[in-house]
Structures are given as C-alpha cells and as structure tokens.
Amino acid sequence: MKTDRQVNIVSAEFKANPFPLLATLRATEPVFRTHLPDKTKTPVWLVTRYGDVFTLLKDERFPKNRRSALTPEQIRKLPWAPPMFRPLERNMLDLDQPDHTRLRALVHKAFTPTLVEQMRRRVQALADELLEGAARRNEMDLISDYALPLPMTIITEILGVPTGDRHKFHKWSKAVVSLSSPNATARVIPSVWMFIRYLRGFFKVRRRDPQEDLASALIRAEEAGDKLTEDELLAMVFLLLIAGHETTVNLIGSGVLALLTHPDQMEKLRQEPPLIKTAIEELLRYTSPVFLSTERYARGDVTLHGVKIPRGEMTLGVIGSANRDETVFENPDSLNITREPNKHLSFGQGIHFCLGAPLARMEAQIAINTLLRRMPDLRLKVPPDSLRWRPSMVLRGLDALPVLF
C-alpha cells in the first residue's frame, strides 16, 4: 500500500501522533518523498527504518553543508536569505570535516563528564527550588514552570549569559526552532537580528571582563588566532544556547506525559528511583525529543531501496521512527522503563552525535526523580488528547502540560 498523501512533518497534527503513519512508511515506503510547508514547497526525503537512519546520519554521500552538495545552479535558486544570517552557517552542526572537527574540538573539553558532575548539585538545587515555588499552588504548567527553566538556566550559567535575560532569548530561539523550513527564514528575521545583536553585546562585555565561563573560554580561543573566527564564535554560542534547552525541555515534558499515561511504569520508578538511568533511555526512545535529524543533502544522485534521491535534495532521518522500528525493538510502542539493551538514536550518530548528551541525561534524571519524589499525587489536569504539540521541523514537544498535585 502506497501513502498517497503529503506529510506535513512540521505540523502540530503530525507531531500529535505520527507513529501509525511512520509504521506504514517503514513497511511500504522506507524512502518517502514529501515537501516542506514553505513557499517554494522544498522537497524533502524521509528515511524511516532504523538501519537506514543509522547509516544516513554518518553517510558521506549526504553532507550537512548544502554548499558542498548543491550544483551552482541549485545554489543560485536558493531563496534569498538576509546576509546577517550567513555567520550562523558557520556552526558545527551545519558543517562537515575538517571544519566540524576543529570547532567541535574547541568546545568538547568544556562538556566533559567532569563538568557534568560539577553541575549535578546545581541542577538538583534548581529542581528543588522550582518545585518549591510551584508547591505553593496546587497546579502548574510543567513545561513553563519546570521543564523549560531548568535546562535554560543551566546552559546560560555554563555559558555565562546573564540568567535574567533568559526569557528574552527564549522568545527568539522559540521563533528559530519553529521554522517550517531552512528556506523560510523571512519570518524570523526580527528574532534572529535581536538575538545576534544581543550576543555581540554580550561578547563585548566578556572581552572587557572575562569570567570563568564557557563564553570567556571561547573568546580566548578566538583572540588566540585562527582557531575560531568571530562568526564561528557567534554561531557556536547561538547553537549551544538553542540546542542546550529547546531539546531537554521536550525530554522532561514528553517524558513526564509518557509516565502519567503509563501509571504502572510511573509507580515502578517512584518505588525504585535507581531505575532512573534505564527509564531516561526509554523515555528518550519513546518520546524522541529531536524527532527528525537536521538536514542532510545528497552530494550526487543516491539510490536507496531502489529509490533515486536526486543530487542536492534534502534528506532527513526520522529518528522517532527508527526508535519504534519493530525489527530492532521488542514491542516498540510499549513503554518499558527497564528496557535493555536500548540502542535508541535519540542523540544521533557519527561525528554529529549530541555534544550535550551527558548533560541532558543528568538534567532529565534529576528533574524526573525529584518531581516524582516531591509530588506523590501528580496527575494531568486535562485529557491527553487535548494537549497541543509545538509545530517545528525537527523537534517534537508539548506547548504546555497542565498538571495538578
């Protein structure tokens, strides 16, 4: 059976329950062509089987940097983007070797297990503080009151960005991650412009007055010579700020929803908190906070399962589908917090494997266990079907999650 309709991967409707459709695609059309909901209807290929997603994420036939894949003609036809966006293209997630290797090496040492361990007590204190604040009422929006401020505060503290400014830049980053296509940048010009202006101002302050934070360390690297250009510095901090909180919020938010709708699993975890390690891996698999990989572009015509992906066309690995592949995971649609092994692809694969994975795991483990411990009567305020999912190209997460306790 062929899927005869277009799939709007950005829409809230798709994100609400994409799993039956993805199971059909895995079975019948594992390489599926649709288009993005932008003006030019950019064609996009969805790869849905585990093995294919695993390979795609590190396949040199599908580079990240579209300038190395597209023909000069295709590059000329790209929709206009404001020149001020160009520096942001110099972020490691959109580059291939050797630029990627150099940029990642510069920041890699800041994301060691030691740093994560150092942040553990701070994350715990913050989780307690946020829940104490909420406990004065008997309800909260789990997203805006807990799942979001936690990773956002931590990534701003690591970078040294004033925590008081976090609401400002969340507004801007929200606009960026809600983009319907990398070609639909016009709508986000004001947000990106203000974000860039804010960061340039922040770098000025840090140059004058360096601190023991990641931004100061990166500025030192930039000033030391040709290791990091000013554009790359901007792109790096921009990426870290966004990737550092727009993802983990979804793991905590959708993870709590998954537990609330599987009371037996939630009770098991409450009774046995050390299960949190396998529980978080299972919530990563089950909810897939980064639901689709970021874009890859076919460097030449590539044939996969007999289907030709023409040169220059955008290709995405559907991580949320790979994580439910029945040939890899037993009962893939069941939530089992003790599942082992659990080789989910939620943090990607290959050279772009998530830099923040240890931090995200630690934050989510503490956030969820603290919530279950402090709020024994936690329950949903509204029926699960009425919850709204945020429109986004690659992320899957809730707009709000009203809970009572």
Q: How many Å separate Cα 393 from the centre of its chain? A: 10
CB of 358 to ligand HEM, least distance (A): 9
Instruction: Tell whether residue 293 is a contact of ligand HEM (CB under 6 A).
Output: yes
Binding mask 32-61 for ligand HEM (x = CB under 6 A): -------------------------x----
In DSSP terms, 389 is beta-bridged to 398
For ligand HEM, the closer CB: 22 or 354: 354
Q: Which two tokens stand for residue 299?
A: 């460097």
Instruction: Tell whether residue 104 is a contact of ligand HEM (CB under 6 A).
Output: yes
Q: Of these, 309, 354, 387, 398, which contacts ligand HEM (CB under 6 A)?
A: 354
Q: Of the candidates 213, 233, 218, which has an alpha carbon nearest to the alpha carbon of residue 155?
A: 213
Residues 359-388 binding ligand HEM (CB under 6 A) are: 359-360
CB of 275 to ligand HEM, least distance (A): 18
**How many residues are there in the chain?**
405
Q: Of these, 290, 322, 362, 401, which contacts ligand HEM (CB under 6 A)?
A: 290
Q: DSSP state, 67? A: G
CB of 135 to ligand HEM, least distance (A): 26
Binding mask 217-246 for ligand HEM (x = CB under 6 A): ----------------------xx--xx--
CB count within 10 Å of CB 138 equals 10
CB count within 10 Å of CB 196 equals 17
Instruction: Tell whether residue 251 is a contact of ligand HEM (CB under 6 A).
Output: yes
CA–CA dist 45, 314 (Å, integer): 6
CA–CA dist 355, 352 (Å, integer): 8
Binding mask 119-158 for ligand HEM (x = CB under 6 A): ------------------------------------x---
CB of 60 to ligand HEM, least distance (A): 14
Query: What is the number of the residue whose Cβ is closest to ligand HEM?
Result: 356
Q: Of the candidates 296, 43, 21, 9, which has an alpha carbon nearest to the alpha carbon of residue 180?
A: 9
Instruction: Tell whether residue 348 is a contact of ligand HEM (CB under 6 A).
Output: yes
Instruction: Tell whether residue 347 is a contact of ligand HEM (CB under 6 A).
Output: yes
Q: Of the candidates 341, 333, 251, which has an alpha carbon nearest to the alpha carbon of residue 287?
A: 251
CB of 157 to ligand HEM, least distance (A): 12
Applying CB under 6 A, which part among 20-28, 127-135, 297-305, 352-360 lies near ligand HEM?
352-360
Q: Is 122 exposed, middle or buried (0-12, 13-18, 19+ CB in 10 A)?
A: middle
Instruction: Tell whether residue 352 is a contact of ligand HEM (CB under 6 A).
Output: yes
In the numeric block, the tokens 């930039």 are attached to: 222
Q: Which two tokens stand for residue 180?
A: 């319907």
Q: Which two tokens stand for residue 348?
A: 């990607």
Instruction: Tell whether residue 344 is a contact of ligand HEM (CB under 6 A).
Output: no
CB of 356 to ligand HEM, least distance (A): 2
Instruction: Tell whether residue 93 is a contact of ligand HEM (CB under 6 A).
Output: yes
Instruction: Tell whether residue 289 is a contact of ligand HEM (CB under 6 A).
Output: yes
Starting at the earlier edge strand, list the strands of the sheet with 43-47. Answer: 31-35, 43-47, 314-317, 296-297
CA–CA dist 41, 70 (Å, integer): 17
Residue spans of beta strands (DSSP E) within 279-362: 296-297, 302-304, 307-309, 314-317
Instruction: Tell whether residue 257 is a contact of ligand HEM (CB under 6 A).
Output: no
Continuous H helices in 136-165: 142, 149-159
Instruction: Tell whether residue 332 is a contact of ligand HEM (CB under 6 A).
Output: no
For ligand HEM, the closer CB: 289 or 332: 289
Report the interface residues with ligand HEM, using CB under 6 A: 57, 92-93, 104, 155, 239-240, 243-244, 247-248, 251, 289-290, 293-294, 346-348, 351-352, 354-356, 359-360
